[in-house]
Chain A
Amino acid sequence: MDEMRYETPTSVNAAVKLLAGEKGLAKVLAGGTDLLVQMRGETVVPNLIVDIKKIADMKAIKKEKGGFRVGAAVSGAELGEHPELSKMWPGVVEATELIGSTQVQGRATMTGNLCNASPGADSVPALIAAGALAAIAGPNGKREVPVEQIPVSPGKTSLAKGEFVTSLFLPKRPKKSGDAYLRFIPRTEMDIAVVGCGISLTLDKAGTVLAARVALGAVAPTALLVDAAANAIIGTKLEDAALDALAAACSAACRPIDDKRGTKEFRIQIAGVLARRVALIARARALKK
């Protein structure tokens, strides 16, 4: 039988070297809450596992340029216990905290959620709405890209051989900004989003939407950044007509499939319903700041 190697490098360079040097399948291990399940089900059989938790800074949350840099191995529980970050990006934190249960929260990371490239990943629409950036290290050095560029299709990322994400950057917020995330599941927890929606917006003094980003999960092969939906609310005060236009734009952007988790028709309809609700929560948060 093929042997499987498990490595715990202590530097980014060593990790890149291991990942780039492996001839077979090399997998990064963050919390392992996706990877271990996939290995047990034999859908992923790696030759090399590179555990990044021993690398300095992977577990750190640092202030940077008025925003926050979140290490790739920071768990959901650690994120949620960071008061300043939670205050600045409540939508991102609530999305991440929806992942699994208390036990899963102790391990699961936002970066793992992003790099697993599931269309239903909960933190991803919130990260996209937040305009988060992913810092990448690889054999050719470092680069930084918007998070929406990481997943390309279910289970696939744009990361090249030997590359991995070292941190996520959440930018500084203007005054009167708020974000929120809601998902629909048929139960109350321990389920995969049938639809997820993250919205981040900034208001002017009069309460008019100055800027907005709207993202949807589980309605297409990857999470979507829906510009038309953002445009539907920019310049409005989220009156009923604006919310209707937002819902319609979200429904129109959906390219879902019928599967065991939900029908096309249902996903399209719920995308609009959630978008309305999320926009109102984000506004309420923005008004408090």
Chain B
Amino acid sequence: MPDDIKLDKELKVVGHRNVRPDGMDKVTGRAKYGADLILPGMLYGRVLRSPHAHAKIKSIDTSAAEALPGVKAVVTGKDFPDQPKSKPPYGPMIQDAWDATRNIIAREKVFYDGHCVAAVAATSDSIAKQALKLIKVDYQILPHVIDPIEAMQPDAPILHEDQFTLGVEGATKPSNVFRIMKAAKGDVDKGFAEADLIIERDFKTKAVHQGYIEPHACVGNASEDGNVEVWTSTQGHFVSRNQLANLLGLPVGKIRLTSSEIGGGFGGKIPMYGEPLAVRLSQKANRPVKIVMTRDETFRSTGPTSGSHVWMKIGVKNDGRIVAADAKLYYEAGAFKGAGIAAAIGCMFSEYDLENIRIEGYDIVSNRPKVAAYRAPGVPMAAFAVEGVINQIAKKLKIDPVDIRLKNAAKQGTVNVSGIKYGPIGFIELLEKVKAHPHYNTKLEKNQGRGFAAGYWMHAGGMSCASVNIQDDGTVTLIEGNPDIGGSRASMAAMAAEELGIPFEKVRPIIADTSSLGFTFLTAGSRTTYATGMAVVEATRHAIKICCERAAAVWGVTPEQVKWEDGHAKPASANVGDFAPLSLSELAKKAPMMGGPIAGHSEINATGQGPAIGGHLVDVEVDPETGFVKLLRFTVFQDVGRAISPDYVEGQLQGGAIQGLGWALNEEYIYNDKGQLVNAGFLDYRMPVASDVPMIGTVLIEEPNPNHPYGVRGVGETPIVPPQAAVANAVENAIGIQMSELPMSPPKILRAIAADRLKAAE
């Protein structure tokens, strides 16, 4: 990006609390979400799901369903072309095509309770439901496995007979371990030899769901001429379009995806579930088909994040300086490879400046839905272990938990385990702010405890496009391609308005469908305000350049002699001449006479995204008789680079913290002995409710990222990394026991207290 970082200048729009352009329609209910589109002749799609955790499909008989009046189409795995195995990388965001088609609709086997085996489209929802009951599937039930450690055992049921562990030389037996990934820096053994204190522990976390309030919903509409239109609630319609073309064997240019308003995604709306089914049903029925998931289906068949086992060993000197860190990560990928181990390895120690690190990550398949990305995918589980052990070390060495982190904090120039050398980052400033904060200095009562934990996320860049159209009244239409989950339209409009020198309200941001703009990568990886924001600034500057050229032509001077200031073209200096400034609308009105409409555009592949480090401070009160953990105070500190829209940045920090709290305290997937999920609803999958959570305070540290015109770092994912450990450390401070298993539900806390008393009595 251009050199001129505008951070010293007083900003008129950026950094102000602007009202989001999508806000009014969301409040009144007018906003159109995934389930809100109704087309003439539209059919209702329903999905038949496996009740078995692992079974061979011997046959599927759909004839009775097809014969039911009102049923217009039925599809099974046979209706989709098979896919070759694709090449790595794989992860929560990138799937092998062979896996993807099987996850969308089973072919040879079902791999989890809730796996789609067939779909129907009918003239009413109740007929579609009835039709599902008429489909006969002959299953041969196979033994199943869910826990990753059990899945690694030699006698474990194997999910994929052709999967041999990558990273193991000469593997001859198929394995549920898809890959062992390693990373190292320095000499860990030497580090441990020099350590004064070594702490080693095991940690466990359960699979948790993203819990977005809007279930997946889409409409597929295939026309006779081969064009396909899809309306869907997604985090990336351009990526989905390309995958859809691949999965259905269609030319990319024939498919047009429109992203609806989205009621949360958190990574879970990156993969496709209903879209290929709706399109295939529509192709067969020649009518539009809508598929809306229930909550039960959302829990049973869409991506949670990995459950995990983590082994952690850290060595320190008596002054708290970490000299060696060693870890093994065992992550569930679900039915198909791609757990978030790479991200975990890249982030777990990265807020610290460490010399000696060794990490081994296991990507393990088991009979659960294929994991999807969930806010900083893979990192919170590892951070729970790292920050728990650091807490133990601080306690043993009687060092303040913030001081021990100050002792080891990463700073400009630190090189992490992936070899990334940091530019300016605000971790030390953050830790100092924590110590000075009133929360840190509030007195605690009996049974209360305070915990602190830090976390790091690396962020993504990637491809983005934007267009800026100047209308003849001086209003501006801004076109970009990222579904807006967290208020990104407000930030895009703010940056465009700031550049143009016009009020925020004059810019209307629009999210284009896939046929109206160039490819734009996902709303994920906290990349949107960074990468797409850069494209928006560049497109706006392009339009400004044209404005300056037009003004130059009007005045008979060169474009270099014109500057853009406060929404007007002005002579760059007094020497240029005494011309009255020309406003945006004055210039736009001249367009028919001079070169046509004024528009700017930008197509970029962004790099240079900066990481973000956060620290969470939490106070709890533990009821020693019931194990109930009450949250008293919670403050999130984060280096946000630059908060373009402070309200929505704070919202991200609070939202991430709350999701982390749920993960810490009560959320978990519970299976019966048949491998069926028994808590597929919000009553028994216990996400926090409003009254569980205190007002979450936020402290924004602004250490600008020099690679972005406004210093943006991305903010959305870091806040889910520290809360699990922060709560565990607060519980430890209250009851003296470091909980090593999530969720820290009341029965677990009570058991730990009882075990501790027993130990003390002995």
Cβ of A262 under 8 Å from chain B: yes
> Is A187 a contact partner of B688 (Cβ separation < 8 A)?
yes
> Is B130 a contact partner of A273 (Cβ separation < 8 A)?
no
Cβ of A6 under 8 Å from chain B: no
| CA gap between A125 and B666 in the complex, in Å | 26
Residues from chain A with Cβ under 8 Å of B679 in the complex: 260
> Is A266 a contact partner of B686 (Cβ separation < 8 A)?
no
Residues from chain B with Cβ under 8 Å of A187 in the complex: 666, 686, 688-689, 691-692
Residues from chain A with Cβ under 8 Å of B597 in the complex: none
Q: Chain A: which residue is nearest B625 at the CB level?
A: A273
Residues from chain B with Cβ under 8 Å of A191 in the complex: 683, 686
Residues from chain B with Cβ under 8 Å of A263 in the complex: 747
Cβ of A128 under 8 Å from chain B: no
Which parts of A259-276 form the interface with B (CB within 8 Å)?
Answer: 260-263, 265-266, 269-270, 273
A1-B126, A261-B684, A273-B625 known; A188+B689 contact, CB < 8 A? yes
Q: Chain B: which residue is nearest A195 at the CB level?
A: B626
What 1/0 mask marks residues of chain A from 1 to 28 whose CB sits below 8 Å from any chain B CB?
1000000000000000000000000000
Cβ of A36 under 8 Å from chain B: no
Smallest distance from the beta carbon of A209 to chain B beta carbons, Å?
A: 22
What 1/0 mask marks residues of chain B from 614 to 630 whose CB sits below 8 Å from any chain A CB?
00000000000111100
Residues from chain A with Cβ under 8 Å of B665 in the complex: 186
Cβ of A190 under 8 Å from chain B: yes
Q: Chain B: which residue is nearest A273 at the CB level?
A: B625
Cβ of B678 under 8 Å from chain A: yes
A184-B626, A187-B666 known; A265+B678 contact, CB < 8 A? no
> Is A266 a contact partner of B746 (Cβ separation < 8 A)?
yes
| CA gap between A270 and B623 in the complex, in Å | 12
Which parts of B131-156 form the interface with A (CB within 8 Å)?
Answer: none
| CA gap between A287 and B626 in the complex, in Å | 27
A184-B626, A273-B626 known; A266+B684 contact, CB < 8 A? no
Residues from chain A with Cβ under 8 Å of B688 in the complex: 187
| CA gap between A106 and B252 in the complex, in Å | 52
Cβ of A64 under 8 Å from chain B: no
| CA gap between A20 and B542 in the complex, in Å | 78
Residues from chain A with Cβ under 8 Å of B626 in the complex: 184, 270, 273
> Is B684 a contact partner of A260 (Cβ separation < 8 A)?
yes
| CA gap between A187 and B686 in the complex, in Å | 8
Which parts of B663-691 form the interface with A (CB within 8 Å)?
Answer: 665-666, 670, 678-679, 683-684, 686, 688-689, 691
Q: Chain A: which residue is nearest B662 at the CB level?
A: A187
Cβ of A189 under 8 Å from chain B: yes
Cβ of A72 under 8 Å from chain B: no
Smallest distance from the beta carbon of B337 to chain A beta carbons, Å?
A: 29
Residues from chain B with Cβ under 8 Å of A269 in the complex: 750
Residues from chain B with Cβ under 8 Å of A192 in the complex: 683-684
| CA gap between A272 and B746 in the complex, in Å | 15
Residues from chain B with Cβ under 8 Å of A273 in the complex: 625-626
Per DSSP, chain B at the interface is loop
A261-B684, A265-B747, A266-B747 known; A188+B678 contact, CB < 8 A? no
Cβ of B745 under 8 Å from chain A: yes
Smallest distance from the beta carbon of A56 to chain B beta carbons, Å?
A: 35
Which parts of B599-654 form the interface with A (CB within 8 Å)?
Answer: 625-628
| CA gap between A265 and B692 in the complex, in Å | 25
> Is B747 a contact partner of A189 (Cβ separation < 8 A)?
no
| CA gap between A186 and B627 in the complex, in Å | 9
| CA gap between A191 and B687 in the complex, in Å | 10
Q: Chain A: which residue is nearest B743 at the CB level?
A: A186
> Is A188 a contact partner of B750 (Cβ separation < 8 A)?
no
Q: Chain B: which residue is nearest A41 at the CB level?
A: B296
What 1/0 mask marks residues of chain B from 681 to 706 whose CB sits below 8 Å from any chain A CB?
00110101101100000000000000
What 1/0 mask marks residues of chain A from 187 to 205 whose CB sits below 8 Å from any chain B CB?
1111110000000000000
Q: Chain A: which residue is nearest B747 at the CB level?
A: A266
Smallest distance from the beta carbon of B605 to chain A beta carbons, Å?
A: 45
> Is B747 a contact partner of A262 (Cβ separation < 8 A)?
yes
| CA gap between A95 and B427 in the complex, in Å | 48
Residues from chain B with Cβ under 8 Å of A186 in the complex: 628, 665-666, 686, 745-746
A260-B670, A273-B626 known; A189+B689 contact, CB < 8 A? yes
What 1/0 mask marks residues of chain B from 298 to 309 whose CB sits below 8 Å from any chain A CB?
000000000000
Residues from chain A with Cβ under 8 Å of B686 in the complex: 186-187, 191
Smallest distance from the beta carbon of A76 to chain B beta carbons, Å?
A: 17
Smallest distance from the beta carbon of B633 to chain A beta carbons, Å?
A: 16
Q: Chain B: which residue is nearest A194 at the CB level?
A: B746
What 1/0 mask marks residues of chain A from 248 to 289 whose CB sits below 8 Å from any chain B CB?
000000000000111101100110010000000000000000
Q: Chain B: which residue is nearest A267 at the CB level?
A: B747
| CA gap between A186 and B625 in the complex, in Å | 13
From B126, B689, B691, B750, A266 is in contact (CB under 8 Å) with: B750
Smallest distance from the beta carbon of A26 to chain B beta carbons, Å?
A: 21
| CA gap between A260 and B678 in the complex, in Å | 7
Residues from chain A with Cβ under 8 Å of B670 in the complex: 260
Which parts of A128-163 form the interface with B (CB within 8 Å)?
Answer: none
Residues from chain A with Cβ under 8 Å of B130 in the complex: 1
Residues from chain B with Cβ under 8 Å of A265 in the complex: 747, 751
Most buried by A among B670, B679, B686, B688: B686
Smallest distance from the beta carbon of B45 to chain A beta carbons, Å?
A: 18
- Told that A186-B628, A187-B692 touch, could you supply 4 new A-B pairs with CB distance under 8 A? A186-B666, A187-B691, A188-B691, A190-B683
Listed A/B pairs (6) with beta-carbon separation below 8 Å: A187-B686, A187-B688, A189-B691, A191-B686, A262-B747, A266-B627
Chain B residues at the A interface, C-beta cutoff of 8 Å: 126, 130, 296, 625-628, 665-666, 670, 678-679, 683-684, 686, 688-689, 691-692, 745-747, 750-751
